[in-house]
Homo-oligomer: A and B are copies of this chain.
C-alpha cells in the first residue's frame, strides 16, 4: 500500500507539473486565457475525482477486510474466537461507515456531480452511484444504525433458540421491535408511495412495491394452476439422491463443474461452511462456500453451482471498477438471477446432465451404475408442495416468496398484528401451497430474515432473480442459438461470454432496469420464465399442452 500510495503521489505531482508547464505555454497563445481556465477547471475535477477514488478505496479496503473476517468466522475460526471477532468486524464496519458519511466526501460528490457532463461515462456512473448511496446513508442517523444493529443481534440470538424450541411467543416482543424499527427506517425516506418502497429500492434500485405486486399477481395466476396440474401427477422418485455420498468426491465434483462453467480458481476457492455464501474481497479473490450432507447429493452440488453463479458474476465485473462502488453486482435480484441461471436453468437441465451424468456415475459408481439418466433428471427436478422455502423446487419456490412478501406488507401496513402472524402463515400456506405446517418452527419461524434484520424488502429479489434468469438465458440463446448444444457437450463458453459482455462486466454502471433493457431489449418480463417452467415441467410431468 505504502508503495502504491507513494507511486500515486509521485505520479500525481508529476502530472501537476506537466500541466503547469502546458498551462504556462498556453498563456502565450492568443486564446490562452480561456483555454487555461478550462484546463484548470478540468485539472481540478481530475484532482477531485482522484481524491474521491482514494477515499472510496480506503472505505473499500475496510469493507473487504471486514468480509475476510466474516469468511474466516464462517469457515476456519476456532470457536472461542467469536466474541473478539464480532467486535473486530464491527469496528471495521463502523470506521468504513464513518468515512463514508464524512461531509467532506459529500462535498466532493456534489462538486463532481455538478460537472457530470465533463466526466467519462464510467466516472459519471461512479459519481451517480456514490451520490445515491451517500444520500441514503446520511439520512440514517448513526444512533439509529447502532440501535438497529443491537436489536438485530439480540433478536437473531433469541431466534437461534426460539426456532428449535418452536417458541413463537418468545419472539413476539423482538418481532414487534423489528417491525417498529423497520417503520422508523422507512420514515427517513418519506414521502414514499408505499412504506415498503425504501426497502425494495435498497435491494433493487428503481423497483417499487406496486411493481412487485403487479409482477407477483400475474405470476401467481400462472403458477397456481401449474403446481396443481403437477400435483395431480405421480410424484417424482428422488430416492437415488438419498444414498450415501462421500464428502471429498462431492466437493471435487461440484467444484470441477463450477470451474468448467467459468469460475476461475486463480481468483477464487471453495470451502465448507454452515450456510453457503459467496463473498468478494477484490477482483482477484472471490470465494464460495458450501455445506455437504453425505445423505443428500443435491445439497452441496446445487449450492456450489448456485454460489458459483454469484461468484462468476463478481469475477466478470470489469477489473477497472475494483475497489469502487461500481465494482460488484448491481442488485439483489440481478445477482440472484445469476445464481439461479447457473444452478437451475443450466445445472438442472437435461442437456447438462446428458454430458455430466456419465461423469457423476464415474465419481459414484456404487450409487449410480445402471441408473437411467431420466430417473436422475426427474429426481433433481422433483416438484412438491412443501413447508420449507429453502428446500423448495423451482416451481413452488415463488409461492413461498409471495406468501412472505404479502405478510410483510400486511405487517408494515398494520393490517396484521405480530401475535396473529402464525395463524396468518398457516392460512396462507394452506391456500397457496395446500400444506399446513404442524408447528411454527417449520412455519413462520423458519426464515432468519424478519428476526435478524428487520421486516421489509428481503424476499422479493429471489423471485425477481428467477424471472430474470429465464429472460437473460432467453436473450443469450437468441444471440447464440448453439448454447443448448454447447451445454449438452459440457461447454459453457458462449453462455458465459454473453453474460460477461452483457451483464457481468458492467458491475453497477447501469441501473438494474437499464441493464435488463440493454441486455435483453425489453424491461423485466415474466413471459420467458413462465414459458421455461411450462416447457420443462410440462415435459417432465407430461402435462397437457398449455393453451396460448
Q: Which A positions have Cβ atoms within 8 angstroms of B?
A: 1-6, 57-58, 61-62, 64-66, 68-69, 72, 76-95, 145-146, 149-150, 153-154, 264-269, 271, 281-285, 287, 322-323
Contact = CB atoms under 8 A, between A and B. Distances in A.
Given A1-B91, A68-B69, A82-B284, 5 more contacts: A2-B90, A6-B150, A68-B68, A78-B284, A84-B285
The 10 residue pairs across chains A and B that have the minimum distance between CB atoms: A1-B90, A81-B285, A84-B282, A80-B284, A61-B91, A2-B149, A80-B267, A1-B87, A61-B88, A2-B146
Q: How many copies does the complex hold?
A: 2
Nearest to A264: B80
B149 A78 contact: no
Interface centre among A65, A84, A88 (most CB of B within 10 A): A88
Contacts of A281: 81, 84-85, 88
A440 to B, nearest CB: 27
A228 to B, nearest CB: 47
A282 B2 contact: no
Contact of A268 (B78, B322, B323): B78
Secondary structure of the A contact surface, majority rule = helix
Nearest to A148: B2
B84 A283 contact: yes
A188 B184 CA distance: 55
A420 B118 CA distance: 59
A369 to B, nearest CB: 29
Given A68-B68, A79-B266, A4 B84 contact: no
A226 to B, nearest CB: 42
A387 to B, nearest CB: 33
A145 B3 CA distance: 11
Nearest to A89: B1
24 contacts: A1-B86, A1-B91, A2-B94, A2-B146, A2-B150, A4-B87, A61-B87, A61-B91, A61-B92, A62-B92, A65-B66, A65-B92, A68-B72, A76-B271, A77-B285, A78-B265, A78-B267, A78-B269, A80-B264, A80-B285, A81-B284, A85-B282, A85-B285, A88-B281
A284 B4 contact: no
Given A146-B2, A149-B3, A266 B65 contact: no
A110 to B, nearest CB: 25
Contacts of A84: 64, 281-285, 322-323
A267 B81 contact: yes
A66 B94 CA distance: 16
Nearest to A67: B88
A95 B66 CA distance: 14
Nearest to A84: B282
B266 A91 contact: no
A409 B87 CA distance: 44
A284 B83 contact: yes
A94 to B, nearest CB: 7
Interface centre among A76, A87, A93, A94 (most CB of B within 10 A): A87
B87 A153 contact: no
A57 B85 CA distance: 12
Contacts of A266: 78-80
Contacts of A284: 78, 80-84
Contacts of A92: 61-62, 65
B76 A88 contact: no
Nearest to A284: B80
Interface centre among A82, A89, A150, A323 (most CB of B within 10 A): A150
Contact of A64 (B1, B86, B88, B95): B88
Contacts of A77: 285
A44 to B, nearest CB: 26
Given A268-B78, A283-B84, A146 B5 contact: yes
Contacts of A94: 1-2
A267 B85 CA distance: 12
Nearest to A62: B91
A88 B72 contact: no
A57 B95 CA distance: 13
Contacts of A78: 265-269, 284-285, 287
Contacts of A65: 65-66, 68-69, 88, 91-92
A6 B143 CA distance: 10
A66 to B, nearest CB: 8
Interface centre among A84, A94, A153, A283 (most CB of B within 10 A): A84
Contacts of A269: 76, 78
Contacts of A265: 78
Contacts of A6: 146, 150
Contacts of A271: 76
A344 to B, nearest CB: 27
A217 B417 CA distance: 83
Contacts of A285: 77-78, 80-81, 84-85
A488 to B, nearest CB: 30
Nearest to A87: B1
A50 to B, nearest CB: 16
B91 A58 contact: yes
